[in-house]
Amino acid sequence: MSALFEPLRLRGLELPNRAWLSPMCQYSAGADGVPTDWHLVHLGARITGGFGLVLTESTAVSPQGRISAADVGLWSAEQVDGWRRITDFAHAHGTAIGVQLGHAGRKASTMVPGHGRGSLPPEQGGWPALAPSATAYRGFATPVAASTTELDRIVADFASATERAVEAGFDVVEIHAGHGYLLHQFLSPRANHRTDTYGGPFENRIRLLVRVVDAVRAAWPDDRPLLVRIPGTDWVDGGWTPEESIELAVRLAGRGADLLDVTTGGLDPDQRIPVGPGYQVPFARRVRAAVPGVAVSAVGLITDPEQAEAIVGDGDADVVLLAREALRDPSWPLRAMARLAPRRLTESYPWQYSRAVPAPSTVDLTK
């Protein structure tokens, strides 16, 4: 049996394989943050495409936490109803679905991609961005340094969004603490210049994320898994380091995180990333070695079925997340299955597409 197509159990949820859809912003919600027909069709294609778990794009826990005015959210009952339409579709087709909860911090209130760059001007509906410190991401407006009262509210917003995720029918929640958004900003000395209990030493910089993890885990049912996306490195001097990632992973493993989704970069425009196939996999490998009791995922330029199979089969990660490749090919897992685990094809194809199942003569049935 292919390692990529072995099931994985996280708490009370069994996922049929280890090829999952990575969260990817679509910037296609209305001003109310409700998912639209685009989200149903976009996620629906991957729901029927064989992914073991489908994760939504980063979903804002508050209006202020949106990256752009076209972001989806989970702060209202109307949004719950919009997501329920999509989770019902997933469950009707036997696919698990998770929501990634996030807050953009100093990268909030930006122009919608394709409609401009940089921060959205106030006269066009922009709003003040909150951050650890009043230090802008280059090219963006200067944010407001969050008060401790505002940080308390943000923790509560994550908890409330988690409760709405239960109402919306999600199977998994992921906390987004990577890609230069708010929780990552607190982790990194390049963005966090505070002198209170949320800044300075490692213990202080991880404080907000730890509080969010505790609040989300308390609001999330015990039988459902919690994922946390963490940075492996900032790729810049004076930033977050791989050693800090490992120490953070150990802490989160003891606080109810069931899978650590290891990514890199996005915090500082001075980053220098040696981009290439699987370039982030070594960071996942190190975290997995440090926390053997917790699952770890790898993401980043994973495109080929044999490449994904090797990552899981060699023990570099428990799961691979597909991003751009999944945009190009919504049925990537079915294509990979035809090459790696052809005996699973008939049970995995939607019956409406059964005429497209590759004939046995075209695949190697010895695998």
Burial class (CB in 10 A: 0-12, 13-18, 19+), 169: middle
Residues 181, 279, 349, 353: which is the catalytic one? 181
Q: Over the stretch 217-241, which tens digit does the pLDDT of each residue have? A: 999 999 999 999 999 999 999 999 9
Q: In this predicted structure, what is the pLDDT of residue 359? A: 73
The domains of the chain are located at 8-362
Residue 365 pLDDT greater than 50, yes or no: no
Q: Over the stretch 197-214, which tens digit does the pLDDT of each residue have? A: 999 999 999 999 999 999
Where are the extended beta strands (E) located within the chain? 8-10, 13-15, 19-21, 53-60, 96-102, 130-131, 144-145, 172-176, 226-231, 259-263, 295-299, 319-322
| pLDDT confidence band for 354 (50 / 70 / 90) | confident
Distance CA 116, CA 213 (A): 34
Across 72-76, average pLDDT = 98
Cβ-based neighbours of 252, under 8 Å, separated by 6 or more: 210, 213, 228, 230, 260, 294
Could you tell me what percent of the chain has a pLDDT over 90? 91
Cβ-based neighbours of 142, under 8 Å, separated by 6 or more: 134, 135, 136
User: Is 181 in the active site?
Assistant: yes
Task: Give me the amino acid identity at 164.
Answer: R
Fold of 8-362: TIM Barrel (3.20.20)
Plot region of 5 (φ>0 → left; ψ -120 to 50 → alpha; else → beta): alpha
Q: In this predicted structure, what is the pLDDT of residue 364? A: 53
Task: Give me the amino acid identity at 107.
Answer: K
| pLDDT confidence band for 362 (50 / 70 / 90) | low
Across 335-351, average pLDDT = 89
Q: Over the stretch 82-133, which tens digit does the pLDDT of each residue have? A: 999 999 999 999 999 999 999 999 999 999 998 888 999 999 999 999 999 9
Token digits of residue 263 = 């990514």
Predicted TM-score (pTM) of this structure = 0.95
Q: In this predicted structure, what is the pLDDT of residue 345? A: 86
